[in-house]
Amino acid sequence: MNRTVFILNGPNLNLLGRREPHIYGYTTLDEIRAASLATAAELDLQCEFRQTNHEGVMVDWLQEAFEQQAAVIINPAGFSFHSIAVLDALKLIQAPLIELHLSNIHARDELHRHSIMSGVVNAVVCGLGAAGYPLALRAVAQLLTRDV
């Protein structure tokens, strides 16, 4: 069983801690990465933690995860609401797949309320800020155990 998980982060998340902290909090992406890698190690998961501002790069990474039969935790950020290319790549994933958002997108304005990605994932974690990442990793570990 493959115990690799790709944690993929979309556009503008490289500016966490400085970008709209009233929505996304003050935790930086580097701090989230460190906590995620520590949690992954605790759960005996191999973790690829990545961020891109480019749609095609995200598609490439999802295809890479598919080829490796890896689980995916994705914070699609702005791709959530319009990217058919990312959605189609998500449909490739056969391993556990979790969508993650720092904010509660369901309580936001109309533009940021409806993720087109949610219909193809195993679960959605939203509204928990940076704490959502370790929870999503624990969910992936549980789904991997269940799938055995």
Integer Cα distance of 92 and 90 in angstroms: 5
pLDDT digits over 22-44, tens only?
A: 888 999 999 999 999 999 999 99
Q: For the whole model, what pTM was predicted?
A: 0.94
List Cα–Cα distances, 95 to 4, 45, 68, 113, 114, in angstroms: 10, 13, 10, 26, 24
Binding site annotation covers 147?
A: no
Binding site annotation covers 30?
A: no
Where along the chain do its domains lie? 4-146
pLDDT digits over 64-107, tens only?
A: 999 999 999 999 999 999 999 999 999 999 999 999 999 888 88
Catalytic residues, which ones?
A: 24, 101
Integer Cα distance of 5 and 37 in angstroms: 11
Fold classification of 4-146 is Rossmann fold (3.40.50)
